[in-house]
Amino acid sequence: MVDISKRVFNIEVIETNDDGTAKLDKDDNFIFVEKEFAVRLPSYKVMEEANKLKSKVFREALNAGDMLRDQLEDILRNKGLWNDQRQIEYDTLRKEILDREYQLQKGGIKLNDAKALALEMKEKRQRMVDMLSGRSDLDSQTCEGKSENARFNYLFAYSLVYNDDELTPFYPNGLEDYVVDMDNPIAVKGATEFYYLLSGTENLDDKLPENKFLKKFKFVDDKYRLVEKGSARLVDREGKYVDEYGNYIEYNNDGTYYYVDVNGRKLDEETGNFVIDEPSPFLDEYGNPISEEEDAVVAEEKPKKKTTRKRRTTKKAETVETVDADA
């Protein structure tokens, strides 16, 4: 029976010695091990303290002159983050997604065409998320947003535990420890799992119709990354092989791979330069190959020594104008 009072997740962490120092391998690299953590439903006492904190933060934000959520629309428009044109675009995207969802449910089209529709839905939905990012960022600065975030952080800080020892909290000092450790991968993953626990939902990506379709027909893996049909090899939308970071690759017959550019030309893994087996020599203006020695000389002509021309000077005869005294 599934325990709905907690959610368990795994994450790789650096293995430590008894004294708390990191374990290293023979090459002085960190040794990683997979460890189980859990988030559990908070106790009544923790919930009570979290609600008190929420009210306190809301009052402080309101007294400081922070905006309320009802004012958000006007502020977004005044700041140029939203306007009628963006609203029209957003509404159009939503309609286009619904139209494609209808086509997927209706069926009766080629599977590849249906795949293209599903991928278009993903792109359009991501565009909608991007458009709302400014609104979401600003919402977190409202009185309501600040107070809700404070409550969530407090609850989570006291709910993250080691799964093999639920009596030992991950953050002994609760919120005080968590606020300086929010970038920790354990905290990031844990906060997501805690949201699912509180809301009673699973990963929202699992519920999207385009993802359900792509997964049903094995176009994507468990992380919703495109894969080659019949294998677990990652591909991009055009069907080109990529690694987990999106770099283009090609496979050898033995299953190993090498890096290529977008046109399939082999690249050196270390430098990223093209791999050329036998580079051809450059040619002179007559089409003849230039040797490496000659190539080094082709550069520029040697600058000529600057000569200074001597100016010829001719001494002009002085002309003395005489005046006849008798004149």
Mean pLDDT for 39-68 is: 97
Cα distance between residue 194 and residue 41, in whole Å: 8
Domain ranges of the chain: 225-300
pLDDT in the model for residue 80: 87
Mean pLDDT for 81-110 is: 96
Residue 315 has pLDDT above 60, yes or no: no
Distance from the Cα of residue 20 to its chain's centroid: 32
Cα torsion 164, 168, 171, 174: sign = positive
Phi/psi for 248 (5° steps) reads -70, 140
What are the residue ranges of helices labelled H in the chain?
Answer: 44-63, 72-78, 84-106, 111-139, 143-157, 175-178, 185-199, 209-216, 292-297
Cβ count within 10 A of residue 225: 15
- Residues 201-226 have pLDDT tens digits of 777 788 899 999 999 999 999 999 99
pLDDT in the model for residue 253: 94
Cα distance between residue 199 and residue 207, in whole Å: 14
DSSP type of residue 279: P
Mean pLDDT of the chain, nearest integer: 88
Q: What percent of the chain has pLDDT over 70?
A: 88
In this prediction the pTM is 0.68
- Residues 112-159 have pLDDT tens digits of 999 999 999 999 999 999 999 888 888 999 999 999 999 999 999 999
- Residues 31-51 have pLDDT tens digits of 888 999 999 999 999 999 999
Q: Among all chains, which residue has been given the structure tokens 């970071």?
A: 245
Cα distance between residue 178 and residue 162, in whole Å: 15
Cα distance between residue 232 and residue 263, in whole Å: 22
Cα distance between residue 18 and residue 21, in whole Å: 7
- Residues 157-206 have pLDDT tens digits of 999 999 988 888 999 999 999 999 999 999 999 999 999 999 887 777 88
